[in-house]
Structure 1
């Protein structure tokens, strides 16, 4: 089985209800049996998500997400085979918010704390997400 990592960006559709706790609980239930792992960053306005697993499973999940009315303007940033997982033990970790500490991490890598999906370097974005999980643990909800 090939190991695939997919990264996407989307905006939250404000006309749809969003229960982020219920979303993570669904990930906690479904992802382990599909051998999917990853991280979801949600700042109240947009999502950045990394999904890792088998190519078929990652593709199927992305297609479900792309049809989810809670998302708008979804942009696939990257989808590639990888040698190892970045988030091997998390069925889906959630990083929420944009406090001052989170803002500092973004500004270390980018000129602004607003991610431009049209121009972002995905490798740099993955570095930001890894730093967020290490440096802002109070903002992290982990489901294993």
Structure 2
């Protein structure tokens, strides 16, 4: 089985209700059965998500997300085979908010704290997400 990593960006659809804790609980319940792992960054306006697992399972989850009315303007940033997972023990970790620490990490890599999904280098974005994990642990909710 190939190991695949998919990264996407989307905007939150403000006309749809969103309970982010319920969303993470669903991931915690469903992802382990499919051997899916990853990280979701949500700042209140947009989502950046990394999904890792088998190619078929990652693709199926992405298609469900793309149909989810809570998302709008979804952009697939990357989908590639990888040698190992970045988030091997998390069914889906959640990083929320844009506080001063988070802003500092974003500004280390980008000109502003607003990421442009059409111009982002995915490797740089993955570096940002890894730094957020390490440097802003109080903003991280981990589902195993």
Q: Smaller-chain TM-score range?
A: over 0.9
How far the C-alpha of 1:48 sits from its partner, in A, is 0.0
Per-residue deviation, residues 52-97 of structure 1 (Å, max 9, x unmatched): 0000000000000000000000000000000000000000000000
TM-score by length of 1: 1.00
* Cα distance in structure 1, aligned partners of 2:113 and 2:132: 13
Q: Which runs of 5+ in 1 are unaligned?
A: none
Aligned residue for 1:112, secondary structure, equals coil
Does structure 1 residue 135 correspond to structure 2 residue 116?
no
* Cα distance in structure 1, aligned partners of 2:123 and 2:85: 14
How far the C-alpha of 1:44 sits from its partner, in A, is 0.1
* Cα distance in structure 1, aligned partners of 2:79 and 2:65: 15
TM-score by length of 2: 1.00
**CA RMSD after TM alignment:** 0.2
Per-residue deviation, residues 25-73 of structure 1 (Å, max 9, x unmatched): 0000000010000000000000000000000000000000000000000
**Cross-structure match for 1:46:** 46
How far the C-alpha of 1:100 sits from its partner, in A, is 0.4
Aligned residue for 1:49, secondary structure, equals strand
* Cα distance in structure 2, aligned partners of 1:68 and 1:123: 26
* Cα distance in structure 1, aligned partners of 2:65 and 2:97: 21
Count of paired positions: 144
How far the C-alpha of 1:112 sits from its partner, in A, is 0.5
**Cross-structure match for 1:74:** 74
Aligned residue for 2:98, secondary structure, equals coil
* Cα distance in structure 2, aligned partners of 1:109 and 1:99: 16
Per-residue deviation, residues 87-134 of structure 1 (Å, max 9, x unmatched): 000000000000000000000001111010000000000000000000
